[in-house]
Structure 1
Amino acid sequence: MGQQKYAGWRKPESTGLVPGLSAAASVLAVVSLMVAVGLWFFAGAPLLAVIVLVVSVLVIAPTMVRIRGISAGEMLTAWMRTLPIRAREAQLYKTGLFSHIPGGRSPLPGLASPITLTDCFDPDSGEDIGALVNLVHHTITVVLVVAVHGQDTLPQQIIDGRVAGWGEFLRIMGEHGDVAGVAVVSETVPETGATYTAEVESRRSELAPDLAAEVVDARAEEMPLDTIRATQRIAITFRYHSGAFIDGVASVSRRLPELRTAAAGAGLQADFCLSSEIVAFTHTAFNPAAAGRIDELMARSGDTGLRWTDAGPSFHDDTNPRFYLHDSGRSMTYRAYEFPVQPVDEQILAKILGKNFRAPYKRVTMIYRPYRPADARQLADGQLRDSFAGSQRTHRGLTDIRQQIRFEDNAATREDLAEGHGLTDVGILVTVTVPFEASGRDAAQMLDDAAVSSSFAFAPCLTDQAAMFLAGLGIGVYPDMDETKAGPGAWAA
C-alpha cells in the first residue's frame, strides 16, 4: 500500500473587481473613482476630485503591498490599535520579585495576566486537574500531556488511521461550538537527568551489591548527556458565555471523558495535566535554567511548591522587536506565512518538529480554531461563489488556471462539509530560546533550513514577540483574544 497523501492548506481569498484588490477594496476603489469623476466633470471641483483620489490611493495602496504574508495596511491597523495600550504603558511588566508592588510575586505578563489557575474535576480518574480560567475573555483551558513515541516501525495503515483519528478529534472540537481554540505544543529541551536520578534512587535497595549500585549510578549519570528530550501537550480552550466561571468549569468537566476518548482514537496516549504540572512547564519556559531543579521536584513529589503567581518571569523585556528577554533566556518567535499547496504526507513537519542540536530549546505550536458548523458552511459557500466568479474571468481568451484549481478545491471542501467533516483555521508559531548573550542566528538558520524542506516559510513576529511567546505556551492565550468571545471567522495565521 502506498503512502497516503493529504490536501495542503488553503487560505481564504477574496477576488475583487480590480486585480490585486479584495472585494471590499475594489468597491472602495470604484466608488472613489466615480466620486472623483462626478466632482471633476459635474460639480466643477477638480481640486476636490484630486484630493479624493489621493486619499483613496493612500488608503487602498497599503492593502496591495504584502510583507511576508501580511499587508502593510494590516500592520498599520495593528500598530494603531496598540497606541492606547502603549500610551498608558499597559504593555510594560512592572512586577516581579524585586518590584515595588506588594507581594513580590511573578505573575504572567501582558495579555495573559487575567488568567487564573483553578481545579476541574475529572470524572474518569476521580481527581482534580488543572484548569486555566480567563475571566476577561470568558475561556477555560485544560491541557492534555501526550506520551511521545516513535512511529517508524508502525504499518502505514495504522499511521493513516491515526491521522484520520486526529481529523475526527478536531471535528469533535468544533461540533458543539464551545471550543475557542486548540493549541498543540511540541517542545524539545536538553535532558536534565533529574528524572532518571530520582527513579534510580526510588528503586535503590540497601541490600544490592556494590557493583550493581555503581553500574546503575553510572548509567543514570550517562543517560542524559548530550540528549534532547521531546514533550507534547494539547491545550483545549472552551468558551463560557454567562454566569460564574465555576459553572463553566463544571461544564468543561463533563466534556473531559469525551476528549480523552477522542485523543485515544487518534492514537494519543494522553492524560490531563495537574495544576502543579501546568505551573512547572510555564515557569520552565520563562526560566530554562531552573529546569533541572523543577524536574527533580516533580519527579520526587509531583509538586514544585510554586504557585500560579510564581509561574511568570521575574525579569521581562520586550522592547526589542526581534526577540524577547526573560529570566534566563532570549526567545525569538516566528510565524508561518506560507504553507504547502501541494498534497503532503504525514511527515511534512518532521524536520520542523524534530530534535536539533542547533536549537535544543525549541517549541512548535500549531493553533487550531475550529469553526462552528453554521460558520463553516457560510464561509465555504462564500469562498465557492468567489472562486467561481474568478474562474469565469478570462485574459486574452484564456482562463486563469490558478482560479480554476481554487474553485475545484473549494467545491471539494463544500462536499466534505456536506458529508459531516469540519473546517478549521490553523497557524504555526515556532519559538527558539538561546542563552541570554547568544545572537540566535544559528537557531534561526536551522528553522529556515527545516522550513525549505517542508514547503513552509517563516517570518519573525515583529513588535509582538512577548505576546506570541505567550501564545505558543499552550495556556489559553491566542493571537486574537477577542476572537475567543465572538467565535471563529476573523482570525487566520
Structure 2
Amino acid sequence: MSTEAIKSPTYGNWRRPRKAGLGAFGLVGTIGLFGGLVIILLSSLISIKAALIAGTPIALVIGPLAIRTQDGRNVYNIMALRIGWARRKSNGQHLYASGPLSARPGGRFRPPGMLSKVVMLEGRDPFDRPFGVLHHRYRNLYTVVILCEPDGGSLVDPDQVDIWVAMWGDWLSRLAHEPGLRGASVVVETAPDPGTRLATEVLPRISPDAPPAARAVMEEVVDTYPDASSEMNTYITLTYGLPGGQKRATDEILADLALRLQGLLAGLIGAGGGSAEPMSAERIAEVVRVAYDPAVAADVLDLRAQYGGTGLDWLDAGPAAAIESVEAYQHDSGVSRTWLLTLAPRGTVRASVLRSLLDPAPSIRRKRVALLYRPIDPATSAKIVESDRRSAQFMATSTRGMVRARAASEVSAAEQTAAEEASGAGLVEFSMVVTVTVDSLAEIQDANVTMRNLLGATRIAMRPADRMQAAAFTCALPAGILPWEQTMMPQQLQEAM
C-alpha cells in the first residue's frame, strides 16, 4: 500500500504594482531625466560651464525621485509628510475638543478629522431591516457597513478552508463588476470580553430555588470566564461613488443600495462569513464611539443587552478630546498607534498566515486589523497584467547572474497572473492598516514590542504611520475611509511618481 501525504493548500502570487519609467525614477522622473539630458546637451554646445549650470538644478530636482524607501516613497513624499505635519501642528489642528463647552458649533461630540463632514443616513432593506449609510459629502461617497460572524478555522478540514478562500476570491472579483464601487475593507476588531453579555444571559436565568452550590458555580463562571475570553467583531464596508457632477435623490440612492445588499450578503455567507447583516445607523455609531473611548465598551454592551440599543446618534460618536503626536494618537480613555503595510509576504503562505495578528493580545485594550481592497475593472486589469508581463520579460532578458533567477521568478508570476486574468479572475489592489489601543501613553513602547512579535510570525513588513496617526486611525475604523480617495494630488500623477 502507498500512502499519500496530505498537503495543506498554499496561496500567493501577489505582486507590487510596477511603476512606469526607468528604474526608480517613475514616469515623471524619467520624462524629467530625458528632458534634462536634452537641455544639458544643448547647453554643452555653448560651453561646458553652461552645461554644468543647467545640469545642477536638474539633478537637484530629479535626483530625489530616485531615492526611495522600502515601501516605495521618494524624498518628495517624505518631505510633503513632514511639511504637512508641521503646518497642522503650527495651526493647532493636532488638537481636538468637542462638546457643549467647546468652540465647535452645535455642542455635539462629532467625530473628528475626515469623519467631521460625514452625514449618517438610514434606509430599509427588502427584509425591512434598517441599515446605516455614511455619506461622505466632500467626496460624494456612500458607505454601507456589514456585520459578520465568520466561521472559525478550528477543526475545519483543509478542503473546506480552500473552498472558503476560493469563494472569498470570487466575491472580491465580483466587486469589480459592482457599478460605482470605489473600494471595500474588512475590519477585524478584538478586545478582552468585559463579561457583560455573559452576565446578562446567565444571571437572570438562575432559578431562585437553585441549590446554593449550583448558584455558586454559575456565579463563579460568570466572574472568571471573561478573564480568559475575548470579544471579536468583523465588519465589511462597501463604499460607492457617483460619477462626477451627478446628483441623485437620497431615497433613490438608499433604494439602490438596499437592492444590492442581498447578493453581496449571499456571497459573504458562501465565503465563510457566517451570518451577515447590514448594520443600522445606531450600531455604526456605537462602534465608532467605543473605538474613541474604549472605557465605555462595557456600558454599551450592557445597554444593548438590556434595552436592545443605546440610542446613540452619529453626531455624538466622537471623542470629547483628542491629541495627535508624531508617534501616537490620544483620544478620551485610550492611546492608539497605527501601522501601515509596506511589504506583503514573499512566496506562498497558508490560510492561517494572519492568525497570530488577528488573535487578541493580552496586554492590548483593543486591536483593529483593516484590510483595504481596491477592485480594478476588467479592462484596466487586462492592461495592467500585460504591462507587468512585458516588463518582467524585459528584466529577465536584460539581467545576468543571481539577479536573473529573481527575474525568472517574476516572469513566472506575471505569466500566471496573466493566465488567471484571461480565464476570468479579477485583479484587486490591497493594503492593510493595524491599530493598537492601550490605556496610557506609557504603554505604547510595550505595544511596539507586541506588534513586532505579531508581525514576525506573519512575514509581513509594516511601518508606523508617524506624523499621520489621526488619519491612519480613522482609516482602520469601519467607516468607509479610502486612503486613495483622500489625496489632493490626482491618482494618476501619484502613480506616475
TM-score, with normalisation over the residues of structure 2? 0.90
How big is the shift at 1:26?
Answer: 2.9
2: CA distance, partners of 1:39 / 1:422: 50
Instruction: Rate the CA distance shift 1:260–1:490 in 2: closer, same or farther, 3 A.
Output: farther
2: CA distance, partners of 1:62 / 1:176: 39
The aligned residue for residue 109 of structure 2 is 106
The aligned residue for residue 297 of structure 2 is 291
Q: Which amino acid aligns with 1:361?
A: R
How big is the shift at 1:61?
Answer: 2.4
- Structure-to-structure mapping, 1:69-84, within 5 angstroms: 69=71, 70-78=73-81
The alignment partner of 1:387 has SS state of: helix
The alignment partner of 2:8 has SS state of: coil
Do residues 433 (structure 1) and 437 (structure 2) align?
A: yes
The aligned residue for residue 368 of structure 1 is 373
8 A contact 1:138–1:485 mirrored in 2: no
How big is the shift at 1:177?
Answer: 4.2
Do residues 359 (structure 1) and 361 (structure 2) align?
A: no
Q: Which amino acid aligns with 1:307?
A: D
Do residues 328 (structure 1) and 333 (structure 2) align?
A: yes
How big is the shift at 1:248?
Answer: 2.2
How big is the shift at 1:228?
Answer: 2.4
Could you tell me which of 301, 308, 312 is aligned with 1:302? 308
The alignment partner of 1:14 has SS state of: coil
Amino-acid identity (%):
26
2: CA distance, partners of 1:111 / 1:219: 43
CA RMSD of aligned residues (A): 2.7
The aligned residue for residue 339 of structure 1 is 344
Provide, for residues 2-28 of structure 1, a one-character-per-residue CA deviation record: whole Å limited to 9, x for no partner.
1111124210123644x4433442332
8 A contact 2:328–2:469 mirrored in 1: yes
The aligned residue for residue 51 of structure 2 is 49
The aligned residue for residue 382 of structure 1 is 387
8 A contact 1:177–1:372 mirrored in 2: no
The aligned residue for residue 121 of structure 1 is 124
How big is the shift at 1:92?
Answer: 5.0
Unaligned runs of 5+ in 1: none
How big is the shift at 1:465?
Answer: 0.4
Q: Which amino acid aligns with 2:34?
A: V
2: CA distance, partners of 1:403 / 1:491: 23
Do residues 473 (structure 1) and 481 (structure 2) align?
A: no
Could you tell me which of 31, 34, 49 is aligned with 2:38? 34
The alignment partner of 1:332 has SS state of: strand
Provide, for residues 387-413 of structure 1, a one-character-per-residue CA deviation record: whole Å limited to 9, x for no partner.
2222221358x8733233222212221
More displaced stretch, 365-374 vs 464-473: 365-374
How big is the shift at 1:272?
Answer: 1.6
The aligned residue for residue 426 of structure 2 is 422
The alignment partner of 1:430 has SS state of: strand
The aligned residue for residue 454 of structure 2 is 450
Do residues 266 (structure 1) and 266 (structure 2) align?
A: no
Number of equivalenced pairs: 486
1: CA distance, partners of 2:33 / 2:187: 43
8 A contact 1:276–1:302 mirrored in 2: no
How big is the shift at 1:105?
Answer: 1.0
How big is the shift at 1:81?
Answer: 6.8
8 A contact 1:369–1:488 mirrored in 2: no
More displaced stretch, 467-476 vs 237-246: 237-246
How big is the shift at 1:104?
Answer: 1.9
1: CA distance, partners of 2:463 / 2:222: 40
Could you tell me which of 179, 199, 202 is aligned with 2:201? 199
More displaced stretch, 218-227 vs 259-268: 218-227
2: CA distance, partners of 1:5 / 1:402: 20
2: CA distance, partners of 1:148 / 1:218: 29
How big is the shift at 1:198?
Answer: 1.6
How big is the shift at 1:48?
Answer: 4.3
Do residues 257 (structure 1) and 225 (structure 2) align?
A: no
8 A contact 2:151–2:273 mirrored in 1: no
More displaced stretch, 479-488 vs 233-242: 479-488
2: CA distance, partners of 1:132 / 1:315: 23
Q: Which amino acid aligns with 1:444?
A: N
2: CA distance, partners of 1:25 / 1:487: 16
8 A contact 1:146–1:268 mirrored in 2: yes
The aligned residue for residue 8 of structure 2 is 3
More displaced stretch, 441-450 vs 426-435: 441-450
8 A contact 1:187–1:362 mirrored in 2: yes
The aligned residue for residue 185 of structure 1 is 187
1: CA distance, partners of 2:32 / 2:493: 22
8 A contact 1:348–1:454 mirrored in 2: yes
8 A contact 2:484–2:491 mirrored in 1: no
Provide, for residues 10-64 of structure 1, a one-character-per-residue CA deviation record: whole Å limited to 9, x for no partner.
10123644x4433442332232122112102x233x4443243222222222223
How big is the shift at 1:271?
Answer: 1.7
Q: Which amino acid aligns with 1:273?
A: M
Q: Which amino acid aligns with 2:374?
A: R
Could you tell me which of 319, 322, 331 is aligned with 1:316? 322
Provide, for residues 74-116 of structure 1, a one-character-per-residue CA deviation record: whole Å limited to 9, x for no partner.
2234556788877876665353343033432111111121211
8 A contact 1:176–1:372 mirrored in 2: no
1: CA distance, partners of 2:385 / 2:222: 55
8 A contact 1:135–1:245 mirrored in 2: no
The alignment partner of 2:440 has SS state of: coil
How big is the shift at 1:202?
Answer: 4.6
The alignment partner of 1:440 has SS state of: helix
The alignment partner of 2:286 has SS state of: helix
The alignment partner of 1:267 has SS state of: helix
Instruction: Rate the CA distance shift 1:484–1:14 in 2: closer, same or farther, 3 A.
Output: closer
8 A contact 1:188–1:228 mirrored in 2: yes
8 A contact 2:294–2:365 mirrored in 1: no
Unaligned runs of 5+ in 2: 1-5
The alignment partner of 1:439 has SS state of: helix
